[in-house]
A and B are shown apart, each in its own frame.
Chain A
Amino acid sequence: MRSSFLRLVLLVARRDYLRTVRRRGFIAGTLLLPAAMATMFAVSGFLSTMGAEGQTLGPLFVVNQSAVTLSADPALTPHVVLVSQAEADAHVADGTVSDYYVVPGQWPAQPDIRHVVAAERGPSRPLDALTLEQTSQAEIEILLRVSILRDAGLPDTALARLLTPIEFSSVSTAGEPVTEASVLAGFALPYIFTLIFVLSIFITSGYLLQSVTEEKENRVVEIVLSSIPALPLMAGKVLGLGAAGLTQVAIWLVTALVAIPLVNQQFSLDLTLSPQQMVLAVVFFCLGYLGYGAIFAAVGALAPGAREGQQYSSFFGFFAVVPLIATPVFVNDPGSWIVWTLALFPLTAPASSLELLSLPATPWLTLGASLVSQLVFVVVAVVLASRIFRATLLLYGSRPSVRGIIGALTTRA
C-alpha cells in the first residue's frame, strides 16, 4: 500500500495531463494558432489575387493644352494616349474610361495638372483604385518631365541614362549578400519565436494556476493533501501540465515547420529554424515553464480565488515581455550589459534565452550563463512554491499573512 514518490508524481501527472488536453479550451487554444496562420495565408492569397486583378492599368487619356510638345514613349509611358478634349469627353461619356488628365495651357509655369473624373463615379473609391491612380499619375509625371527635357534639347542618350533606375546592393563584411528579406528576418524571427514561446510558457503556467485554484475552489485540496505530500503533488502537477504545454508547443512547432517556407515565399523572407534551435527552444521552454509554473502555483495557493490568482499572476507577465521590448538591443548588441542582465535575471531569462537562441550568431556564453541561472532558480522556486502550496492551500477564501508566508517558506514541505 505504500506509495513511492515517483508513483504519486506520475499518477498526478497523468491525471492532470489527460484532464487538460481533453478540455475544449486546450483543444481550441492549440488549434487556434495553426488555424490563424492558415486563415492569414488564405486571406493574404485572396487579397493578392484581388489586387492583381484590380491593378490592371488601362489607357491613360491625356489632353495637352500647353505649348510644350508631349510625346508618348512606348517604353517609358506605355499607357499614355494623347487625345483632344472632345475625344476625352466622348470616351468618358461612352464609358471607355472613367477619367482623364488635362495639361493646362499655363503648364509648366503653373505645375497643376487637372484630373477629370466622371461625375457618376462619386468621391469614394476602393483602395485598389487609389493605388491605380497613383501608378497612373507616376506615368504621367514621367511623360511631362521627359517632354520638358526633350523640349530643352537633351539628347535621348542622356535622357536614357537619366531615367535608368539606380540599383543598390548590400553585402556583409564576410562578402555575403544582405537582402532586405534577411534583414527583416533578423528582427522578425527572434521576435516571433520568442513571442510564441513566451505565450506558450504563460499559457502552460496558467494551467498550473488554474489547477491549483480549482482544487481550492472545488474544496478537494485537503483530501488530496491528506493522501499525498505537497512535493509529489506539486511535482506531478508541474510535470503533467508541462507535458500538456509541450504537446501544444510540439503542435505549434510542426505548424511552424510547415508554415515557414510558405511565409518565406509569401512575404519574400528568409526565415529558418534549425533542429538545434528547436531542441534548445524546448529546453528553454521547459525551464521557463518550471520557473513561472512554480511562481504561478504559489500565486494560486496564496490567492483567495481564481480571479485574484489571474490578477496577481499577470504582474509577472510584465517581466516576461521585457526582453521582447528589448529585441532591437538583442539584435544589434547581444553582448551589452542590458542583454546580460535580462539573460541572468530569472524572470526575464526565459524570454531572453529564446531571443538569444534565435539570433543569427548565437552568443553561447550568455546563453550558458542564462541556462545556469534558470536551473538554479527553478530548483529554488519549485521547493519554495511547494512549501507555500502546502501551507496556504488550506486557507481557502482567506488571505495569508506575510509572517505566515515566511514561516511556510522556512518549513519543509
Chain B
Amino acid sequence: MTSAPDQQPLPQPQAGPDPALPVVVDGAWKRFGSTDVVADLSFDVRAGEVLGFLGPNGAGKTTTMRMILDIIRPDRGGIRVFGGPPGTQHQGRTGYLPEDRGLYRDVPALDTLAYFGALRGLSMATARQRARELLVEVGLGDALTKKAGELSRGMHQKAQLIATIINEPDLLIVDEPFQGLDPVNATMLKSLLLEQRDRGAAVVMSTHDMEDAQVLCDRILLIDKGRRLLYGSVADVRRAFSDGAVEVVGTQLPTDIDGLHSASHATAYDGAVRYLLRDGATAQDLFRELGGTPAQVERFAVEAPNLAEIFIRAVAGDPRAQAVA
C-alpha cells in the first residue's frame, strides 16, 4: 500500500524508435484466423529495467513475446531488437523462458543446460562450466547428474531459469517465471532475475501475479485483446488510479483543513490521518504544507490501489486508464 512519492518516474516512450533500446514494438499486428491476437501494439523495453507484461489469458502476451523472438512474425507493424529486425543474429543476446516449458526428461539437467548454452553461442565447455556454477548457486549442486525426469517441480523451474540466463543475455523474456513455486524458491529466483536487471539486462516478465509485478517491475504494460490498456511506471499507473487520498502517520497532525489549501477533507484513525486532496493539488503540495505545521511526519504515503485492482478496473474499461495508456 505504500508508494514512494520521491521515486523518479521513468521517461515516457519516445515517439520514434530508439536504436539504443533493446526492444521497440511499433504498431505490431498479428491475426490468427479471424482474430486479431495483437492489434496495433506499441511499446519499448529498456536496458536495466523489468517490464511487467500483464493481461488476461489470451490477451496476446505470448504471441507478442514470440514475435520479439522471431519465433513467429507480425502481419503488420515493426519490431526492432537491439536496433535491428528480430532474428537469429540476436539469439546469443537473448534468453527466453516460455510458459509452456520443460527439459529433456531422460537427459541429465547439466547436459541439457550446457546444450542450451551452446545453442546460444557459448562454447560447450564454457556452457557446461556456467551451468554447473549456476546449478550450485541455486542449490542444485546435488542434482547435476540427475535426469530431468527425476527432479522436483521446484528444481525443474530453477533449472529452466538457468537455461534462460546461462548466456548472460542482454534481453531476457520470461513468461510466468515463478508459477507454482514455494515462497523460498520463488524468492531465490526473483533475486536471480533482479541480478540480471541490475547487471543491465532488459527483462520482460509476463505474470498474472500482480504482487510480483508491483514489487519487481519498473514499468508495466497491460494489454487486453491484443491492445494496449496501460503503459508506464508502476508509480505512474498507480497514481493515475489513485482516488486522491494520502495517508499520513505521525504526531500533531492537523485534522482541521482550514489551514490546509491542498486538502478538502481529513479523517483521523488509529494514529494516522487520511487527507483527501483538492482538485489540482498534489501530494507534494500537502507534504510541503504539513512541513509548515508542528506535525511530526513519520510516514507519508499516497493511497493508491494495488496493481491487482488496477488490472481489474482497466480491463473493465475504467476511463482513468486513458491517462497511462
Contacts and interface: CB of A to CB of B under 8 A. Distances in A.
A218 B71 contact: no
A19 interface: yes
Interface residues of B, number: 36
Given A2-B92, A394-B71, A223 B101 contact: yes
Interface string A252-275: 000000000000000000000000
A394 B112 CA distance: 20
Nearest to B71: A225
A196 B251 CA distance: 92
A219 B167 contact: no
Interface in B87-102: 87-89, 91-94, 96-98, 100-102
A328 interface: no
A3 B71 contact: no
Pick from B96, B98, B112 the residue with the most CB of A within 10 Å. Answer: B98
Contacts of B50: none
A223 B98 contact: yes
B94 A226 contact: yes
Contact of A3 (B33, B105, B121): B121
Contacts of B115: 11, 15
B107 interface: yes
Contacts of A218: 102-105
Contacts of A396: 100
Contact of B93 (A1, A8, A223, A229): A1
Nearest to A18: B111
A1 B119 contact: no
B181 interface: no
Contacts of A228: 88, 91, 119
Contacts of A223: 96-98, 101, 116, 160, 163-164
Given A8-B119, A219-B102, A3 B163 contact: no
Interface of B is mostly: loop
Contact of B96 (A226, A391, A394): A226
A222 B100 contact: yes
A3 B91 contact: yes
B96 to A, nearest CB: 4
B27 to A, nearest CB: 21
Contacts of B88: 3, 228-229
Contacts of B98: 222-223, 226
Contact of A220 (B73, B87, B103, B121): B103
Nearest to B88: A229
B69 interface: yes
B118 interface: yes
Interface string A190-210: 000000000000000000000
B119 A19 contact: no
Nearest to B65: A226
Contacts of A214: 104
Contacts of B104: 214, 218, 220
Interface of A: 1-3, 8, 11-12, 15, 19, 214, 218-220, 222-229, 390-391, 394, 396, 401, 411
